Amino acid sequence: MVVGIYTNLNKDIDGVAAKQLINILVKKNVDYYICSNSIELIKDSNNIAFDKLVDLSDVIFAFGGDGTMLKVVSLSNENQKPIVGVNLGKIGFLTDVAVDQMEKAVDLLIKGNYKIEKRQLLKVKTNQSSYYSLNEAVLQTVSGEHISVVSINIDDSYATTVRSDGVMVSTPTGSTAYSLACNGPILSPNVKAFIVNSICPHSLHSVPMVISDESEVRLKSLSKNMKLVVDGKIKEIYQNDNEEIIITKAKHQALFIRFGNENFYQKLLQKLSYWGD
């Protein structure tokens, strides 16, 4: 087994948690690589670029919160490897291990005592490029000064035109993120569906739509000055109208290693009951 390590240095101050994992791996004679984004803090001969790390690793430890997990999935593109999320954030829907549980997690990995949870990804295609999304893809206004107008087609059939701050297509994983904040439904991770939702619609009848994940969604901007945001990151900006975004189910899935039998609904209750510090 070869372990890849990616750490978010905004969460893992001075790379302390990643260094702890390296010590555990050395003690247990497990080979590893660490992403070169931490090379200034973690002087290690096994520092390597992320794309090579993914190629050479059997499993990736990601230190941070849900945002870090989204980044690792995004950077991995089609070469998804099972990810162990070490939680350095708050609750963390996607992370599974606390820092003080890392040695136990390594032992379970060595013994093969774990399961792999698969999460569906979106493929987002534009005239310029293609992107993958674990949570959602959003076509929205560059600023909040003007209402956007977006035409929505599903499986080559016209569905509706929405006047709003934007339109998003969300996975079940993303149903507890931005879509939830826009009054979207919560989907269990194993539901084979997507959500088409609008942001602050200027309408009395605009409601979220739950559609099959086998569907193709086409979003067409009927307004100028729009942007495409994928998992919280701006990917493209459009000055002109009539830009079209095509969203489908990706052929590959994100893979997360789970060690326990934590219930999705228990975690959901914890997250939705969180009031902050």
Residues identified as active-site = 66
List of residues 6+ apart from 175 with CB closer than 8 A: 184, 185, 186, 187, 195
- Tokens representing 251 are 């052929």
Kind plus residue range of the DSSP H or E element containing 22? helix 16-27
Whether the Cβ atoms of residue 46 and residue 32 lie closer than 8 Å to each other: yes
Q: Is the dihedral of CA 192, 196, 199, 204 positive or negative?
A: negative
Q: Is 10 exposed, middle or buried (0-12, 13-18, 19+ CB in 10 A)?
A: exposed
Whether the Cβ atoms of residue 129 and residue 233 lie closer than 8 Å to each other: no
